[in-house]
Each structure stands twice: as structure tokens, then as C-alpha cells.
Amino acid sequence: MTDDLLGAVSRILAEYDDPYLERPISDYLQSVDLSDRQLTVRLVFPYPVFGLVTGLARNIEPALAKVAGASRARIRVTHDIPAPNLPDKTPIPGVKHVVAVASGKGGVGKSTTCANLALALAAEGARVGVMDADIYGPSQPMMLGVPEGTRPSSKDGQFFEPVIAQGLQLNSMGLLADERTPMAWRGPMVAGAVQQLLMQTAWDELDFLLVDMPPGTGDAQLTLSQKAPLSGAVIVTTPQDIALLDARKGIEMFRKVEVPVLGVVENMSIHICSKCGHAEALFGSGGGESIAEEYQTELLGQMPLSLAIRERADGGRPTVVSEPDGEDAKRYKDMARQIAAKLARAATQGPSGPKLVVTDD
């Protein structure tokens, strides 16, 4: 590879920006090879981008094919996800990033969002796990299509082997107890169970572990927030005023324990009539955007009130795997890339933006 060739390729790549990190694509250039007039350009992104490859190739390869000495060009794209910089936290073996998916109250679609975001990250090429921390109402085994009666095994009698579901590594209280048995436990028992699920599962080289948090701000949430090496949290809400009120409490809790809030997902933002196409904001509008602005974070996306999303999750094949090219799946994949890109930025440059300090005064 000559300096002239490298310079020519770099100049072309610098004309195109990464839409998520807003950096020139030339920053990701790893190598250039020209052989038999075939120009091969290898790019390494700091977050998984499988869904962007086709568009990148379509836009950039024609320009690269005009480089002196080349008649055709091909882009090869991979990713190398940087580990988080959390010096005060003990890392979980086999896991790079732990992300909490939380809500201030139940019924806002948190678990559905968690499952689809995990599947979206996996579809982008990442190794992903899900830990179901909702001890009282675990739903991830059903949402991910795990057959009833499935139990995690253990090779050494100390660590659970995660169950593989839809390509994800999964552990949940729903896999350890009968689904009809209520978990009538007090707070300290719940907190202990959550910590065991997290630390005593043999997670296998995960880029991302998404934790489906129980609703509210109780013992389980505080245990995870204070003791787990959380890279960040995603807050799920609906536009309804009462949901937004509780979402604020969730954001305040994460800020208080210095866990970055990566953004807000607004579910049930609009209902579109399947008969006439009329769109109506049944639960109000603008709530997710306003709360994101209030807390200096971002609205990652808005999901419609959709019968199909609910039916697919209940049927064990969430939207991202049951209709991967549909508009709803595209929204989940866009949110997943935003989350991964934010984590990459924080790992390489440190968190951006002003730091909000919450005190008891």
C-alpha cells in the first residue's frame, strides 16, 4: 500500500460521515489493498453496523473504483467494540457493556423494547445477552420463545449456563421457577437473586448484556445501579402524563448513582387505524421528547401502539426476527445503533455534555 493510494482512499472516505457518531468514515480506515485492479478497503467501526453496509457500499464503492489503478472496488466492514471505562466497578467476566432497560412504572412496553433492542443489536452483528431482572414478573423466556420447562444447566455447580434463545444468551428467574409459582419474596431476597443472576451466569464473550429491569426504583434497581458495572440505561415510557412522572423518577435514580442515561424510548406514541389509516395520539404527544430535553438526553425513537408488536412478542418471535425488514424493525435497529454508538463514544472519549449532579439538598 503506497502513501498515494492511502491518501486517495482517505480523501474519498472523508467525504462521507458516520450518521451516528458524526465522524468521517476515513477515521475507520484499517487497510487498503489493490490487486489486479480490484481495490479492497477495510473499515472497522467502533459499534456494530451490519445494517449500514449495503448503503455504504452503494454510495462509496463507485467513487473508490475511480482511484488510479483500480477498475472496481469493494468495502469490507467489521466492528471492534471498545470496553467501557468504569474504573470504580468490577467487570462481569465475559461481558463488555451492561445496559439497563428500565421504566418508572409497569405496562409501558419495557420488556418488549428490551427484547427487540437485544435482537436488533444481534442483527447488527454483536454478541448479545439478556438478563431478566424482573423477579416478580419475568417475561423474557416467553417473549424469546423458550419452551416451557427449559432450565439453565451448570457445568461446575457454581455458574448457570445461559439458555440460547433467538441467538441471544438468556437467564431469567422465569427459567429457574415454575411460571405459575409467584415469587413472594421481600426486597433483600429479590436484590440477592438479581445479583446472583448477573454475576453467576457464565456469559460467553458478550458485547452487550441488556438487563430487563423491574419497574420502579426499589431494591432490585438500586442493587443493579450501585453494584453492577452499568455502561448506561435506557428509559422506556409512554406519552401519558402519569408514565412520564414515573419515568422522571427512574432517570433521577440513575443520575444519582452516576449511571449515564443513554436516551428515552417512547412507546404507544401514536395509533394508526388498520381500517382507515387515521392516526391518533391516544396517550398524548410530545412527552418523550420533552422529558429527554429536560434531562439533557435524547429521544431514541417512538414506537406506535401496534397490535402486531404485541402479538409477536406474546408469540415468542418479536418484531425484529418475525419481520426484520418491516418499518417497526427498522426503528428498533436504528435505536440499537444509537445506543451502541453512544457507548462507543463514551468508551473512547468519555461522556459528552454537561454532568448533572443531584443532591439531597
In this structure, what are the phi and psi dihedrals at residue 352, rounded to the nearest 5 degrees?
-100, 155
- Local confidence band at 179 (pLDDT 50, 70, 90 cut-offs): low
Residues 115, 192: one domain?
yes
In a domain, 166, yes or no: yes
Residues 63, 99: one domain?
no
In a domain, 89, yes or no: no
Percent of the chain whose predicted confidence (pLDDT) is above 70? 88
User: Would you state the pLDDT for residue 284?
Assistant: 55
Closest alpha carbon to 342 in 300, 304, 288: 300
The pTM score is 0.90
Q: Copy the grid coordinates of residue 115.
A: 427484547
CA distances from 300 to 81, 95, 172, 208 (A): 20, 24, 26, 18
Q: Which domain holds residue 330?
A: 95-349
pLDDT of 358 strictly over 50: no
Q: What is the average pLDDT across 75-80?
A: 96
- Local confidence band at 294 (pLDDT 50, 70, 90 cut-offs): confident
pLDDT tens figures, 339-353: 999 999 999 875 443
Residues 334, 292: one domain?
yes
288 membership: H or E segment, kind and range: helix 287-294
Residues 8, 109: one domain?
no
pLDDT of 331 strictly over 60: yes
Residues 65, 142: one domain?
no
User: Would you state the pLDDT for residue 264?
Assistant: 93
* Domain at 19, CATH number: 3.30.300.130
Residues 174, 308: one domain?
yes
CA 169 to the chain's CA centroid: 14
Q: Look at the chain and report how many structural domains it folds into.
A: 2
Residues 218, 334: one domain?
yes
Q: Name the amino acid, one letter, at 277.
A: G
Distance CA 303, CA 284 (A): 13
Distance CA 321, CA 329 (A): 8
Distance CA 182, CA 193 (A): 14
Beta carbons within 10 angstroms of residue 42's beta carbon: 15
Distance CA 348, CA 50 (A): 21
pLDDT tens figures, 269-288: 776 666 676 666 555 566 67
Distance CA 341, CA 357 (A): 24
User: Would you state the pLDDT for residue 355?
Assistant: 37
- Local confidence band at 361 (pLDDT 50, 70, 90 cut-offs): very low
pLDDT tens figures, 86-108: 888 888 999 999 999 998 777 88
In a domain, 332, yes or no: yes
- Local confidence band at 235 (pLDDT 50, 70, 90 cut-offs): very high
pLDDT tens figures, 21-67: 999 999 999 999 999 999 999 999 999 999 999 999 999 999 999 99
Distance CA 128, CA 252 (A): 27
In a domain, 157, yes or no: yes
Mean pLDDT of the chain: 86
Q: Which residues contact 2 (CB under 8 A, 6 or more apart)?
A: none
Residues 72, 109: one domain?
no
Residues 308, 199: one domain?
yes
Distance CA 326, CA 67 (A): 37
User: Would you state the pLDDT for residue 90?
Assistant: 86
In a domain, 87, yes or no: no
User: Would you state the pLDDT for residue 281?
Assistant: 59
Helix count and strand count (H, E) for the chain = 11, 13
In a domain, 99, yes or no: yes
In a domain, 356, yes or no: no
- Local confidence band at 216 (pLDDT 50, 70, 90 cut-offs): confident
User: Would you state the pLDDT for residue 188?
Assistant: 63
User: Would you state the pLDDT for residue 265?
Assistant: 94
Closest alpha carbon to 100 in 218, 187, 230, 8: 230
Distance CA 224, CA 102 (A): 11
pLDDT of 308 strictly over 80: yes
> Are 160 and 171 in contact, with CB atoms under 8 Å apart?
yes
Q: DSSP string of 28-87? A: GEEEEEEETTEEEEEEEESS--GGGHHHHHHHHHHHHTTSTT-SEEEEEEEE-PPPP--T
Residues 53, 165: one domain?
no
Distance CA 38, CA 35 (A): 5
In a domain, 316, yes or no: yes
pLDDT tens figures, 182-209: 555 555 677 778 888 899 999 999 999 9
Residues 256, 146: one domain?
yes
User: Would you state the pLDDT for residue 283?
Assistant: 56
Residues 268, 193: one domain?
yes
* Residue with grid cell 481495490, as numbered in its chain: 39
User: Would you state the pLDDT for residue 180?
Assistant: 59
* Domain at 182, CATH number: 3.40.50.300
270 by DSSP, 3-state: which?
Answer: coil
